[in-house]
Amino acid sequence: LNQVIWEQVRIKEINSALEQALETRTVVESQMRRPTEGEDLVVNIYVAVLSDSQQKLNGAVIVLNDISKLALLGRVRRYFVANASHELKTPITAIKGLAETIIDDKSIPIDTLRNFIHKISIQSNRLATLITDLLSLSRLESDPQTGNFQVVNFTEVIERSIEGALVNCVDKHLNLLRKYSTTEGLLIKGDVQALSQLVDNLMDNAIKYTSPHGTITVSLISEKESVRFQISDTGIGISQAEQNRVFERFYRVDKARSRELGGTGLGLAIVKNIAQQHGGSVAVQSQLGLGSIFTIHFPLA
Ligand code: ADP
């Protein structure tokens, strides 16, 4: 075309990489980043000069690589690692402090000692729960395991989870209702352990976030080609703004309250992952102060 490149391309990162490559005759790698309405646009720029057999400069090749998605993933990963480290550090710091006090203070009264050991036990349980949740999440994300799927009686999975949760319901004086569209077991394709974990996590939350004498309703309805599984509660509810975020890893509406109840902030992220692994979808409807409904749709086997 016989035109100079900086008249055609007005992107300073490309022009300066080109200039540098021509000057140094090496491959130059650079990057440009532009804010957009959604995620930033990030492009890797590679410039290599072309020369003939007599080393005479013939031109240059510019390769542009849109790495916006990769850059976003990198940021999500860094954010996750920072969050996970922080979450792990909290109980470890507490255990360390308590243990050191016990070692240093020889005249510690027996009651205080017992209290400290009790606290160490609570914090180590917290640590164990956190690690178990992190491991399940990482297993789910790295290895979808759909090859091991079997036909599962989902009604039975729910019944077993309810049985396990009954003690906590009784302790909190919660009413538990069941609404099944059929007395026959509903069959879906999946992994029993993962499905149990999904039901347990939702059940656990309904119990945790509902005040004594509230009601939890578990329903399982067979639709045309899918199964609708719902757990609704008359608990504290979740504001509209926060409903989109509760499925994020480590997101908690009230950190202190969740911690106090033994929460890790990973329960719903695990639920979402398991649902997706089974070709299902998750949704939440809720009103602050009135309660929440968590709905999962699974394809019928
Ligand atoms: P956590 O371990 O904190 O319970 P989850 O991932 O299970 O973590 O849930 C994320 C957050 O969503 C909770 O901290 C809580 O704020 C909110 N939440 C989950 N389930 C309910 C519910 N049934 N009622 C009210 N809030 C809920």
Chain position carrying tokens 């080609």: 225
**pLDDT value at residue 44:** 96
Tokens of 34: 């532009």
Render pLDDT for 26-72 as a digit per residue (tens, 0 to 9).
999 999 999 988 888 999 999 999 988 888 888 899 999 999 999 98
**pLDDT value at residue 37:** 84
- Would the pLDDT of 295 be above 70? yes
- Stretch 161-172: mean pLDDT, rounded? 96
Q: Is the beta carbon of 186 within 6 A of some atom in ligand 1?
A: no
Q: Is the beta carbon of 273 within 6 A of some atom in ligand 1?
A: no
CA atoms of 237 and 289, how far apart (whole Å): 5
As a whole-number percent, the residues of the chain with pLDDT over 70 amount to 99
Q: What is the DSSP string of 97-144?
A: HHHHHHHH-TT--HHHHHHHHHHHHHHHHHHHHHHHHHHHHHHHHH--
Render pLDDT for 13-28 as a digit per residue (tens, 0 to 9).
999 999 999 999 999 9
Q: Angle at Cα 53 formed by Cα 47 and Cα 56, nearest 5°?
A: 60
**pLDDT value at residue 147:** 63
CB 213 within 8 Å of CB 153: no
Q: Whose C-alpha lies nearest to ligand 1, atom 13?
A: 252
Q: Computed from CA positions of residues 19, 23, 26, 30, in that sequence, does the dihedral angle turn out positive or negative?
A: negative
Beta bridge pairs of residue 160: none
CA atoms of 189 and 152, how far apart (whole Å): 6
Q: For residue 159, how far is its CA from the centre of ligand 1 (angstroms)? A: 22
Contacts of 293 (CB under 8 A, 6+ apart): 230, 231, 232, 284, 285, 286
Q: Is the beta carbon of 291 within 6 A of some atom in ligand 1?
A: no
Confidence of residue 95 (pLDDT cuts 50, 70, 90): very high
Q: For residue 245, how far is its CA from the centre of ligand 1 (angstroms)? A: 10
- Would the pLDDT of 143 be above 80? no
- Would the pLDDT of 144 be above 80? no
Contacts of 17 (CB under 8 A, 6+ apart): 28, 29, 30, 45, 47, 62
Q: Which of 252, 260, 288 to mutate to test the pocket of ligand 1 (most atoms within 8 A of CB)?
A: 252
**pLDDT value at residue 127:** 94
Q: Angle at Cα 129 formed by Cα 166 and Cα 117, nearest 5°?
A: 95
Render pLDDT for 188-205 as a digit per residue (tens, 0 to 9).
999 999 999 999 999 999
215-222 vs 175-180, strand pairing mode = parallel
Q: For residue 158, how far is its CA from the centre of ligand 1 (angstroms)? A: 20
Maximal CA-CA distance, the chain: 89
**pLDDT value at residue 9:** 86
- Stretch 276-282: mean pLDDT, rounded? 93
Chain position carrying tokens 């243990």: 99
Render pLDDT for 224-277 as a digit per residue (tens, 0 to 9).
889 999 999 999 999 999 998 999 999 999 988 888 888 899 999 999 999 999
- Would the pLDDT of 146 be above 70? no
